[in-house]
């Protein structure tokens, strides 16, 4: 099962905000198949801003962080068709355009899950379901991805 990671997940993994949530995310990510996990390029752009503006990290260091994510996971580009679908999603469901781009990219990549604390847990669109990694109990699809039964 393919899984996409939202910006907030990457930020927690980088240690922004909350050490307890960082530990939960790092454990979760260690249990996901790297081959089945993707990162929308939009999430990397947003992560750059979070790490520079909020965490105060130097730009050169953050560039290296983005390279590390790119080396570890497949990056899904924002193709023109993704942007047009995102505009529909933003219009029809009142998402911000940038959240819609991440969602549309996840759908375009064939993901079943978008792991995000920021979007509505359980919302399904385009074959993709949003799951909050901190919800208890986990969504059944997230458990399937974590234990490998969803592949």
Which residues make Cβ contacts (< 8 Å) with residue 52, sequence separation at least 6?
A: 58, 59, 62
Separation of alpha carbons 105 and 20, rounded Å: 29
pLDDT for 91? 97
Please name each of the domains of the chain with its CATH number. 3-147 (3.40.50.1010)
Cβ atoms of residues 69 and 35 within 8 Å: no
pTM across the whole model: 0.94
Write the pLDDT tens digit of every residue in 2-25.
999 999 999 999 999 889 999 999
Max Cα–Cα distance, the chain, nearest Å: 40
Write the pLDDT tens digit of every residue in 57-93.
999 999 999 999 999 999 999 999 999 999 999 999 9
Cis amide prior to 92 (ω within 30 degrees): no
């Amino acid at each position: 099962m393919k899984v996409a990671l939202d910006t907030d997940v990457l930020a927690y993994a980088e240690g922004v905000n909350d050490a307890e949530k960082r530990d939960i995310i790092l454990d979760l990510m260690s249990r996901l198949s790297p081959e089945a996990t993707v990162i929308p390029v939009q999430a990397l752009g947003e992560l750059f801003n979070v790490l520079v503006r909020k965490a105060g990290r130097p730009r050169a260091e953050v560039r290296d962080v983005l390279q590390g994510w790119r080396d570890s996971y497949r990056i899904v580009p924002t193709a023109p068709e993704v942007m047009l679908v995102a505009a529909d999603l933003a219009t029809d469901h009142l998402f911000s355009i940038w959240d819609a781009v991440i969602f549309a990219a996840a759908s375009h990549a064939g993901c079943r899950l978008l792991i995000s604390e920021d979007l509505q847990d359980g919302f399904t669109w385009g074959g993709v379901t949003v799951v909050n990694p901190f919800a208890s109990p986990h969504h059944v699809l997230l458990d399937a991805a974590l234990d490998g039964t969803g592949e």
